Amino acid sequence: MSGKRSLIRSGTTVDQMVRAIGDRIVTGFLRPGEKLDEASLAARFDVSRTPVREALGRLSAMGLVERRPNRGATVAVVTQEHLASMFESMAELEAICARFSAERMTTAERRALEIEHQASARLVQLGAEEDYEYFNTEFHTRLYRGAHSKHIYELTVMTRSRLAPFRRAQFMLPGRLAKSWQEHDVIVTAIMRGDGAAAGQAAKDHVSIVSEASAVFAAVDPMKPETDSIGMSS
């Protein structure tokens, strides 16, 4: 019977299940609308149904899977409207964060933001998309933290994680890197001079542009049976 867990890393079994299943959804290996059978998943990962069940519950709370009582779980289907709604929310949330950041950031926070932002300019010149993506995430996180509001932070991070699957390839568009940096520059400038309104507007515009850039990926066909079930990774 149950032997050793696969060589997946740390955390409780449920955490591993959340990561494993979540990854497969985010990477598109599990298609939207696809049924998630508890027993199958449990067998696939060599665990019992219990942790799988709890993992599905968490993923449901994250919005990655949908659950109906007595009817099982499916990979969440994100409609065009819902996706637009999430990007819209993201724009509003980022605007709030930028506005608050402009008003509340400490001197140290402003300096760190500026320094990191300037440093990332080099990545644009080099066209280092991978590294820029990392700095991009860091940049936005700084904005969220700079708002000095724990709950706003939570809402924003939650929304961002929910949008992650659709933002993945936004930097593949040519010239997007430089444009992204310039948009960041507008935000930083506004924050440095404490102009909350301008910072908010700039952040909103920034996300709106990202939204449009990602819109092309919304055309992911849902409910495609897919040949196989579950492979290995992470």
Residues that bind a second copy (CB under 8 A): 11-12, 50, 53-54, 57-58, 61, 69-70, 81-82, 85-86, 88-89, 92, 96, 149-152, 155, 159
Binder of DNA out of 22, 32, 51, 200 (CB under 7 A): 51
HEC per residue, 182-210: HHHHHHHHHHHCCCHHHHHHHHHHHHHHH
Binder of DNA out of 18, 30, 73, 113 (CB under 7 A): 73
Closest CA to 113 of 143, 147, 150: 143
Give me the helices (H) in 35-175, please.
Answer: 38-45, 49-62, 80-104, 107-126, 129-146, 150-167
Based on the shown chain and the rule CB under 7 A, indicate whether residue 66 belongs to the binding site for DNA.
no
Query: And the tokens for 129?
Result: 């998309």
193 alpha carbon, distance to own chain's centre = 29
CB of 230 to a second copy, least distance (A): 23
Cβ neighbours of 59 (radius 10 Å):
22
- Contact letters for DNA, residues 142-181 (x by CB under 7 A): ----------------------------------------
- Partner whose footprint covers residue 47, from DNA, a second copy, none (CB < 5 to 8 Å by kind): DNA
- Partner whose footprint covers residue 157, from a second copy, DNA, none (CB < 5 to 8 Å by kind): none
